[in-house]
Chains A and B, each alone.
Chain A
Amino acid sequence: MSVELDVFVGNTTIMDEEVYQFWLDGYTVNDAVKVRMEGGVLEECEASAEVLRSDTMDQYRTFQMCERLLHSPAKLANQLLFQIPPHRQAMLIERYYTFDGVFVREVLGKKLSKGTKKDLDDVSAKTGVTLKSCRRQFDNFKRVFKVVEELKGPLVENIRQHFLLSDKLARDYAAIVFFANNRFETGKKKLHYLTFQDFAFCAGQLIIVHCNHSRVLMRPALIGKEFLQDLKELKILITDKDLLDQHKSLVCTALRGKTKAFNEMEANFKNLSRGLVNIAAKLTNTKDVRDFFIDLVEKFIEPCRSDKWTAGDMRLYLTHYTNSAHILDTFKHQVVWDRYMGVIKSCILKMYHD
């Protein structure tokens, strides 16, 4: 005797969150059944493996039928095929668009193209995320990218409205889209220690603060046309020797006695300042933008780390470094400086960890 056909359809669509997760994670039905059996649902409900299998199959089918709707989540609310309570709909959408940190770290900053998709099996092997799940996540990135690319208005808000995601998830997607659009280099070995959340935070800084609500909003506004020249002007801080020395003494006066790493700070001041100002200047060249993070690490974070600065030291240093520039009477670019340093400071603080 074999079961030829086996379906269960409820007027209110029944969905088990656990099974949904298995499905999202790309488990096969057999694997999902195995895991569920180990999970102890059986003892709880006096069911057999067969029952579990039948239930899993049913749910997988339901999810497959729903997947089409999940691609444009707004449809889920006014489709007629499945009667799903609103809070379940929200759960379905949120989980469908949730991604694995390890996976996204691999594709962050890469072009969301067919070529990248072809390499997903390598990513899958490397991260341990199933290929199926990798594909879903990748397609999600691509879908969101495609939609917001053509929309006007604030990036995060667009994503949130169009895909009915939570604020947190919408921000993450904004970061992914932002990285993909600017092709930031994140794969270098030196950057491996950074998590997706670090990058997402930095992306948030770069987007929120600097994006004026225009069509080019996916580019960091630091590159905005009106900003280009201004950023170059900052170079005066390192090219003008007097200014550099003056800046250094101001910072050192403020820092003296407040930190153990003072000597290192004093010794390294010129190098560090050069690094930061050079990054600003480099941003004006679109092609160099993608090196933003690697520059930040190489030119600033690594030297500080080898000098054993604490996070507190870092904060103290950056605060005084930024503020001291205001006192320099010959430095005229205060507004640009504040804007630039505001972003850089928060990025560095986020990125400064092991």
Chain B
Amino acid sequence: MPGKLKAKIVAGRHLPVMDRASDLTDAFVEVKFGNTTFKTDVYPKSLNPQWNSEWFKFEVDDEDLQDEPLQITVLDHDTYSANDAIGKVYIDIDPLLSSEAATVISGWFPIYDTIHGIRGEINVLVKVDLFNDLNRFRQSSCGVKFFCTTSIPRCYRAALVHGFVEELVVNEDPEYQWIDRIRTPRASNEARQRLISLMSGELQRKIGLKVLEMGGNAVVGYLQCFDLEGESGLVVRAIGTACTLDKLIPGSASNTNTHPNTAPASNACNSPSKEIKESPLAHGCRSSHNSPVHSACSSQRLSHSQNFSVSVPTLVFTGMGSGISVGKEAGPLKTLLRQQAQSALEQREFPFFTLTCFPPGFLVHIGGVVSARSVKLLDRIHNPALGNTRSYKLLDWNSVAADEPETRDAWWEEIRQEIKSHAKALGCHAVVGYSESTTICEEVCILSASGTAAMLNPRFMREGCLDAGGSDQRLSRQPPLGMVGSERAEGEVSSSWLGFDDASPPSCGFCHIPYDEFNMPFPAQLTYCYHCRRQKVPDVLFTTIDLPAEAAVTGKGCLIQARLCRTKKKAQGEVNATAISNLLPFMEYELHTQLMNKLKLRCMNALFGLRIQISVGENMLLGLASATGVYLSALPAPGGIQIAGKTPSDLSYDQHISTMQKRINDTIAMNKELYNIHPPECIEEVVGSPIPDRQRSRLFRSTSESSDELSELDLSHGKKDAFVLEIDDTDAVEDIQSLLTDAPMPAGFYSCNTEVMPGIYNWTSGLQMFTSVRVYRLNNANLTNQGLNKIFTDLCENLLKSLYFKLRSMIPCCLCHLNFTVAVPEEELIQVAVTAVAMSFDKETQLAADKALNKGSGENEEQLQFSMELCGESTSSNNQPTAKPSGLPESAMTHSSSRDRCSTWLELLRLKAHTIRRGSVKTTSSSERCSPLPEVRSRSLRSTRSLPCGAPVTVVKMTPLSFLPRTRIVKYLGIINMFFIRETTSLREEGGVSGFLHSFIAEVFAMVRAHVAALGGNAVVSYSMKECVFMENPNKNQAQCLINVSGDAVIFVRESDQEAIPPLITCGQTSTTGADGTT
């Protein structure tokens, strides 16, 4: 009996009227955990009942604690007929199981009903008493922390990065069970919600076990997905990166002058890994499927005899190649590095990392994007009771049933192997920024995986690295503060940390090729690094990770999207799967071409955060690639785009081409201005191979031809090199047209799909997270590929335009983490969902910073390692007289406090800007932004006015990023992973499909906020909406929607606050301790 769960129902408010006669409600509450149920008394005739119940106590296994949610049902008592359900609240207990996260869950939760939505609120208190259990065969993994954040969480340091963990569980979808025909939609939805909640709990527990097995104590970059396979079942799968995290002492984290190394290893929390080390591990954990979920699923089975699978030849995206050859060992340095890394990585099945942001020094080199897709045919569940022709299955019935998840496992295994081999081909031993996804249409399922091949610093993965002493202080260099500028400024790095004398400087090191230049895996033009001039770099770099903090970037970045639509004949089964798999390589190729063209058009040379999504519909395939383009200072300047006609004889044709060329050139020039890209003039070509300075790389329309280019290899790459687009058919014309039709962003807006925008540093605390969903109906059935492409492109562009318009009040601002998800929910329907955050920044200081940056880069480009540091220094020395009065100490010119100095400098500039505008130093607007005080004050003012239910609602910020600008995250409270279904049978009355979805999304936000607030938090970071499945039947006046969201609940404090006082937690504790004494 390792745990005692306690729950107390305090009160309800705003309940719906359940009794028409009295306009009141006789409410009571059922509290259920596992198979135990408690009830409160009926509180008669009130819409604001005060139950103030006793503590309901559940004595349960910690295994159940991890799997099961606490289920709270509010009902209306009815003497003569059955009690009516008002709604439910599911509370995930998991955050209470980790000693570091929340200690109590206390607050108002929206009462949710799958048919009516939110119906009032209920105040609940939940606590858990855990008993230490050293059972060596335990199935639980309490205490392993989970983070959605794909970087090392802000108040931790990574002692060790263990590597890839994955797991999946399978069950039958309740929606497709026979019983679904007789039960109500409400019962069906609730069964589904509960099942998925159970399955995610189980999955998390199993992953936790694997982490413990590896000796870790946390999972970072936890990515959980659902595959609604329809009749063949429901798969919940997750991947993540196992780490050993040490909590940073808040004091040392806030004080930058303290040496980072002072965060002692002894602070390695009360990690379960320690506990586990003492007792031998139970290795049988993984294969045991004894959870209730599995026993339920064993009554059905999945025949996998007719498994159909097509493996799609995959492209490796680096530069512009599309072929793969195995790279051989290179110079001695690389060999050494590789050997070290390999020894650290070789025992791992998959050296994958779901992280996209790394501690400085972790990433050594980047190879390029690797991706793999595979088309699979899902099998129907054959109910043996109905008599099945394949009777042999009945014999080994149990084993087959237990085998089922293994099928899906095998599918993913196959894909991961492919990724691994791609990475190897790029001379890399690891894959970072790794993610997996699926798209399902009827019985066809495309599995996709992608990541960035990379060389990693082996030190982070070796056992006992903590004991290695001083040389490992790098690990704790993880910037503790949420400000991006600080991160950049903090980058001074001693070159000896890598253990190699000739290690590359970190600002360009990751760009250097990991593969052998004489035996390249694909054609690329190599030059010596424009930064250190010592190592070779490719001309273009594509990655799925975030821009490394230490990277030197010229100008700003921008969102680049490639969009593609391909028609497909309707088909069934294998024919369909073959057709799809035949189309895929072409789509990938075209998306890649589009990305490349758009990148050149913006005069940039690298893509970060690349995410390619391919979605299947019955009669079309959609492809959407999004990435953030940047100009890496270390890489050569991209050449322009040249258009070459096929029939040069025709005069009018020539004219047409030249006007187009002019438009392209104009656009490039305009973009350079827009993104502030003024690369330093190319000094002189150090690599003096006398090869024609106008190397033409042709871009052909078909893949087969491109292989011709493979043999050719060119080392030189002058700045005049142009990228030639040959117009040899109408497709190409279309391409160019679409290239130019991308509408420019309105003034004051920037956008990116990565964590932060390169080139913008001075965020204000103003932010707005949003979700926007659009569904389009294609009315004319007979559309060509071009027609569809145009529609799809317009659709995305219009959506972006709408976003810009909506958020115009935040100008100047940047849309960060702009994450598009496309789907084809039905024939002729295209659904696009976007979740992103708009963050405003300070224009005055930005301008100044830009200017300083340009000046600095013009003066001594060679020494420019950390643009931010440099600009901070140069400007502060220029402004010395003005800086002094503000109390900026001159002694601050030591390296360790460069961040401090920078932020002060920014503050100063901002202050000055305000002074100029308003003529007074004391400005209200800046104080409003920086300190939470006015907000609090106005709220308390308000609360004296508002009548019932005293405390005001906690403001909960949400962001898809891993940080909140100008704040410091002081505590992670646990993972938020919620799944909701909403259904309606009165669609018109609820305002049509838009009204229905609008209120549902608002409700989902509300429920996430309520859970975070109840945990004592005030923000969700790394928030994402992973699933939004919308189905409608307007004729029947019905609609249904499923939404899955996740994120990390945190407590943040504003940077200006001196003392870090976690809000709310304390009051929650005091209120519960009193009641505790009675137990």
Residues of chain A having any CB pair with chain B under 8 Å: 1-14, 44-48, 50-52, 54-55, 57-58, 61-62, 64-65, 74-75, 77-83, 85-87, 89-90, 161-162, 164
Contacts and interface: CB of A to CB of B under 8 A. Distances in A.
A10 B835 CA distance: 10
Contacts of B803: 8
B952 A81 contact: no
A50 B794 CA distance: 12
Contacts of B801: 46-48, 51
A134 to B, nearest CB: 23
Contact of B949 (A3, A5, A78, A87): A78
B208 to A, nearest CB: 30
A226 B995 CA distance: 58
B938 interface: yes
B176 interface: no
B806 A83 contact: no
A61 B801 CA distance: 20
Given A3-B777, A58-B806, 9 more contacts: A2-B777, A8-B802, A9-B1002, A11-B957, A13-B1002, A45-B746, A46-B801, A47-B802, A82-B1006
A41 to B, nearest CB: 8
Contacts of B794: 1
Contact of A5 (B774, B953, B957, B1003): B774
Contact of B994 (A6, A47, A51): A6
Contact of B806 (A14, A46, A79, A164): A14
B952 A11 contact: no
A8 B772 contact: yes
B108 to A, nearest CB: 7
A2 B948 CA distance: 46
A44 to B, nearest CB: 8
Nearest to A7: B998
A85 to B, nearest CB: 8
Interface in B937-958: 938-939, 941-943, 945-949, 951-953, 955-958
A231 B953 CA distance: 53
A291 B777 CA distance: 64
Interface size bracket, B side: 35 or more
Contacts of B484: none
26 contacts: A1-B778, A2-B779, A3-B774, A3-B776, A4-B776, A4-B777, A5-B773, A5-B994, A7-B998, A8-B803, A9-B998, A9-B1002, A11-B1005, A51-B798, A51-B805, A55-B805, A61-B994, A65-B999, A74-B946, A77-B943, A81-B118, A83-B955, A85-B955, A86-B939, A86-B952, A164-B945
Contacts of A44: 808
Given A11-B769, A79-B14, A80-B1006, A4 B991 contact: no
Interface string B767-797: 0111111111111000000000001001100
B808 A80 contact: no
The residue among A46, A48, A62 with the most chain B CB atoms within 10 A of its own CB is A46
Contact of B770 (A9, A50, A55): A9
B947 A74 contact: yes
B121 A80 contact: yes
A80 B1013 CA distance: 11
Contact of A77 (B110, B770, B806, B953): B953
Given A65-B1002, A78-B952, A82-B1002, A1 B805 contact: no
Contacts of B938: 86-87
Given A48-B801, A75-B14, A80 B777 contact: no
B341 interface: no
B1010 interface: yes
A1 B791 contact: yes
A52 B805 contact: yes
Contact of A64 (B935, B991, B993): B991
Contacts of B942: 77, 86, 89-90
Nearest to B121: A80
A96 to B, nearest CB: 16
Nearest to A80: B1006
A277 B802 CA distance: 68
A65 B768 CA distance: 20
B13 interface: yes
A3 B998 CA distance: 15
Contacts of A65: 998-999, 1002
Contacts of A1: 776-779, 791, 794-795
B358 interface: no
- The 3 tightest CB contacts between A and B, nearest first, are A5-B775, A77-B946, A10-B770
A65 B995 CA distance: 9
A343 to B, nearest CB: 31
B888 interface: no
B952 A10 contact: no
Nearest to A160: B945
A33 B1010 CA distance: 35
Contacts of A11: 768-770, 956-958, 1005, 1009
A54 to B, nearest CB: 5
A57 B771 CA distance: 16
A3 B108 CA distance: 37
A85 B801 CA distance: 26
A90 B946 CA distance: 11
B829 interface: yes
B319 to A, nearest CB: 35
B699 interface: no
The residue among A1, A2, A57, A83 with the most chain B CB atoms within 10 A of its own CB is A1
A9 B772 contact: yes
A10 B1030 contact: no
A87 B951 CA distance: 17
A9 B768 CA distance: 10
A298 to B, nearest CB: 44
Given A5-B994, A12-B768, A14-B768, A81 B802 contact: no
Nearest to A8: B772
B997 interface: yes
B1001 interface: yes
Contact of A80 (B118, B946, B995): B118
A301 B947 CA distance: 45
B156 interface: no
Nearest to B771: A9
Contacts of A77: 942-943, 946, 952-953
B1002 A78 contact: no
A205 B948 CA distance: 32
Interface string B751-771: 000000000000000001111
Contacts of B1009: 11, 80, 83
Nearest to B1039: A5
A37 to B, nearest CB: 13
A158 to B, nearest CB: 11
Contacts of B118: 80-81
B675 interface: no
A61 B995 contact: yes
B528 interface: no
Contacts of B951: 78
B484 to A, nearest CB: 21
Interface in B372-390: none
Nearest to A62: B998
B460 interface: no
The residue among B771, B803, B945, B952 with the most chain A CB atoms within 10 A of its own CB is B945
Nearest to B1005: A11
B948 A74 contact: yes
A164 B943 CA distance: 11
A130 to B, nearest CB: 20
B1026 to A, nearest CB: 16
A164 B779 CA distance: 49
Interface string B799-816: 001111111100000000
A23 to B, nearest CB: 14
A57 B994 CA distance: 9
A8 B802 CA distance: 9
Contacts of A4: 775-777, 829, 993
A47 B777 contact: no
